[in-house]
Amino acid sequence: MIFLQLAILLICIFLGARMSGIGLGVMGMIGLLIFLFAFKMQPADPPLEVMLIILSVVTAAAALQAAGGMDYLVNLAGKLLRSRPGQITFLGPLVTYFFTLFAGTAHISYSIMPIIAEVAIKKRIRPERALSMSVTAAHMGITASPVSAASAALLTVLAPAGVKLADILLICIPSTIIGVIVGILFVWKRGKELDKDPEFLERMKDPVFAKNLEDSKDTTLALKDGATRSVAIFAAAVIAVVLLGSFPSLLPVFSGEGFNPGFSVNASGQVQMPSMIMMIMLGAAGLIILFCKTTAAQVTKASLFASAGQATIAVFGVVWMSSTFMNHNAEAIESTLGNLVKSYPWTFAIALFTLSILLFSQAATTKALVPLGLALGLPPAYLVGIFPSVNGHFFIPGYPTLLTAIQFDRTGTTRIGKYVLNHSFMLPGIVTTVAAVLAGLVLQYLLL
């Protein structure tokens, strides 16, 4: 019976992942309906907190985008990258990492990548090096950001076990930075130099292509009035989240008459961090609409707002379905996998990595699988340490960040190989993820 159910679960995930966008969400619901009516399985609780955090955080990012704050950040990144063109392999990934960390979404990397490609080509540095690592760094930044859905998902799973947002940041920021730097060193001299690359030399024979390469366009984006103000408001919100997450004593506490715990207040009367993140980030979106030159309509038209809806629906369906499956089969799963995970806890990192290849989402992977890790007896700190392993979505080259990097590299060095899986991002991605997980394990051992 459990195998039939597992087959249904996997088929729904496969079909949903192939649909992309809201696909995982709607196919998850179909799977859930089958579980409910055909197998009489009790539905688990839907991943409410994660969904609402995604909705709030990405709406705030969409407000930043609509107010021109993203353009301001991209200009800033461009200035930084152009000032030291020779260091592009090093600076490109790091700049992408920190901007993703700040914004909580890899979206911003789409606008930084053309700049990286341009700078690298002008300096005749193989663009594949900087671009492949920038994509990887953007994904890593998600798993270290205080305002990303993925970190919030980890927080909601581990908070009952006593893990604070500050603990996650304390481990995951340094571990992913170490991972990114190891990855950069790995790609430093990877592949042929550009002026020895046969494909590039072939393309250079076309005079139009060669001339286009040298044309320097002024890509600085025109800034809206209030663009910098929107960045300041967003930054204040991020800082507020970090402060409240680091010092729980700042969170309002309720007790006495008329007090009853609920969605946003825990049994000891303290306001829960996930609710706090929702209020602060959506409130920041409100302030941006109020004080920067943008409107509520423009925010909903921003491309990020559509991705907020997509991500929310995707997590809704796929996590609801998979946690229903896991709750129903908890005993069977624990008896088969419990011993394996107890003797070789690192195998759980491979499980996270594998699921993220299928789900294309760090937040959904975390919310779906990390509760199982807790149930199998892994210490919460260990789970924080292996958190970067949910970054497996570079494995199959279909994720939009990978495709953007390939598209913007006009030299053709960044590419998908003959066998699909031998693409530019495979080795840098694996090296970076392994390094980040190892660093995370050492750091959680020392610090938590």
Name the token pair of 226.
């209030």
257 binds another protein (CB under 8 A): no
| Per-residue binding letters, 53-72, with another protein (x by CB under 8 A) | ---x--x---x---------
Q: Which stretch binds another protein (CB under 8 A): 51-59, 200-208, 361-369, 430-438?
A: 51-59
Q: Which stretch binds another protein (CB under 8 A): 73-81, 197-205, 220-228, 294-302?
A: 294-302
262 binds another protein (CB under 8 A): yes
The footprint of another protein on residues 264-283 (CB under 8 A) is 264-265, 271, 275, 278-280, 282-283
Indicate the residue among 69 and 380 with the shorter CB distance to another protein: 69
30 binds another protein (CB under 8 A): no
Torsion of CA 151, 380, 366, 389, to 10 degrees: 90
Cα distances (Å, whole numbers) of residue 154 to 160, 175, 190: 11, 16, 34
Q: CA–CA separation, 204 vs 212, rounded Å?
A: 10
Shortest CB 23 distance to another protein, Å: 11
Q: Which stretch binds another protein (CB under 8 A): 210-218, 224-232, 253-261, 395-403?
A: 253-261
Cα distances (Å, whole numbers) of residue 401 to 275, 358, 398, 409: 30, 16, 9, 13
433 CB contacts (<8 Å, ≥6 apart)? 136, 179, 353, 388, 389, 391, 392
27 binds another protein (CB under 8 A): no
Instruction: Please tell me the count of residues contacting another protein according to CB under 8 A.
Output: 38
Contacts by residues 206-209 (CB-CB < 8 Å, ≥ 24 positions apart)? 209/410
The footprint of another protein on residues 298-317 (CB under 8 A) is 299-300, 312-313, 316
Name the token pair of 147.
């305002």
227 binds another protein (CB under 8 A): no
Torsion of CA 23, 28, 29, 34, to 10 degrees: 130
DSSP string of 129-189, one letter each residue: HHHHHHHHHHHHHHTT-TTSHHHHHHHHHHGGGT--HHHHHHHHHHHHHHHHHHHHHHHTT
Shortest CB 106 distance to another protein, Å: 23
The footprint of another protein on residues 31-50 (CB under 8 A) is 46, 48
Indicate the residue among 26 and 187 with the shorter CB distance to another protein: 26
Q: How far is CA 280 from the centre of its chain?
A: 20
Which spans of this chain sit near another protein (rule: CB under 8 A)?
A: 22, 25-26, 29, 46, 48, 52, 56, 59, 63, 252, 254, 258-259, 262-265, 271, 275, 278-280, 282-283, 285-287, 289-290, 295-297, 299-300, 312-313, 316
